[in-house]
Amino acid sequence: MKVISTQLYNQNYSANRKSYNSKNTTAPQFTGKYDQFTEWIANNYYKRFYNSKFAKSFINNTKGKKWNNMTTHMSALGSTLISGMYIVRTLQNDKLDVEKRKTLALNDLMVWALSTLGAYFMDAKLGNWWNGVTTRFTANYLMDNKKAKRVRTLGDWDPANINDMMNNWHEKVNARIDKINEAIKSPDYKGARKPLEKVEAAAYKNVRDFNLDVLKNRKLTTLIDGMGVLKSLFVFGMVYRYIVPVLVMKPANMIGNYYHKKQAEKAQAAQEAQQAK
């Protein structure tokens, strides 16, 4: 029986993809130059970046788990830069009087602070729930991609029971190893004679690690990582661009306008009363 390892499967997958991409090339000359350009970027941007002092310093100073989700931090950094630019431009706007500039700049600052805190809070709060969603996605992926289930090693298991498999995979593997070791003792057996060592018990906390160590499907790793990025980008996008500007700022402006109107009415009434005296 021919054994197809996951690695071999993934190699075939990427080779097929490369060949598919090359078959779809309509303008080879352009593709060649474009490829040279991307090679130049790989060498002059990415390679230099990974080798830079910044990368070294960054890695050494961000060892805590709170730094693991860089998508959120980069999204926050981008928004901070844009908000900072708006605040500086507002403060430098000669068409507005000084008090108005300060009020608007403070408003921008408050919106940025509220959005950033809100986005980090929501992203953290959704963490465990999203972990479950990612597990559900993985189970569905495995339903359609039987090779990714690693049936030859784990047996034909139901992806609906992926949580059970993440905790007890070693029992299944060891049960199979026991049977193989029994079989090896048989005089009829013609394969390798060295008995297999059992694997150690280990429960996986998340499906990404389970896939990396046990299923070893590269495409699935990319998709699981994509799920994490999807969550973070949507949370930050929703908070910065929708929840705060629409659902918070609009009612806040309405309340502010109402308050200003009432204040103006009071001031006018006071002025009229003073004039009457």
Work out whether 250 is an interface residue with another protein (CB under 8 A). yes
Instruction: For residue 69, give the DSSP letter.
Output: -
Instruction: For residue 187, give the DSSP letter.
Output: T
Nearest residue (CB) to another protein, 85 versus 117: 85
Nearest residue (CB) to another protein, 38 versus 103: 38
Work out whether 151 is an interface residue with another protein (CB under 8 A). yes
Q: What is the DSSP string of 63-88?
A: -SGGGS-HHHHHHHHHHHHHHHHHHH
Work out whether 50 is an interface residue with another protein (CB under 8 A). yes
Binding segment toward another protein, per CB under 8 A, in 88-96, 105-113, 196-204, 268-276: 196-204
Please count the CA atoms within 13 angstroms of the CA of 208 that sit on its side-chain side: 13
Work out whether 209 is an interface residue with another protein (CB under 8 A). yes
Nearest residue (CB) to another protein, 11 versus 263: 11
Work out whether 256 is an interface residue with another protein (CB under 8 A). no
Work out whether 197 is an interface residue with another protein (CB under 8 A). yes
Distant-in-sequence, close-in-space partners of 240: CB < 8 Å, separation ≥ 6: 75, 79, 115, 119
Work out whether 34 is an interface residue with another protein (CB under 8 A). yes
On whether the CB atoms of residues 211 and 141 are closer than 8 A, the answer is: no
In angstroms and rounded to an integer, the radius of gyration of the C-alpha atoms of the chain is 30
Distance CA 228, CA 252 (A): 32
Nearest residue (CB) to another protein, 247 versus 264: 247
In the chain, the amino acid numbered 109 is L
Distance CA 226, CA 222 (A): 6
Distance CA 30, CA 44 (A): 21
Residue from 65, 94, 99, 277 binding another protein (CB under 8 A)? 65
Smallest gap from Cβ 26 to another protein, in A, equals 16
Work out whether 261 is an interface residue with another protein (CB under 8 A). no
Work out whether 173 is an interface residue with another protein (CB under 8 A). yes
Distance CA 151, CA 98 (A): 71
Work out whether 24 is an interface residue with another protein (CB under 8 A). no
- Residue located via tokens 């830079």: 52
Distance CA 257, CA 19 (A): 63
Nearest residue (CB) to another protein, 96 versus 177: 177
Smallest gap from Cβ 125 to another protein, in A, equals 10
Work out whether 82 is an interface residue with another protein (CB under 8 A). yes
Work out whether 20 is an interface residue with another protein (CB under 8 A). no
Nearest residue (CB) to another protein, 121 versus 242: 242
Work out whether 12 is an interface residue with another protein (CB under 8 A). no
Q: How far is CA 110 from the centre of its chain?
A: 27
Residue from 90, 135, 148, 149 binding another protein (CB under 8 A)? 135
- Residue located via tokens 């479950």: 132
Nearest residue (CB) to another protein, 188 versus 272: 188
Residue from 91, 109, 114, 199 binding another protein (CB under 8 A)? 199
- Which tokens belong to 179? 């049977």
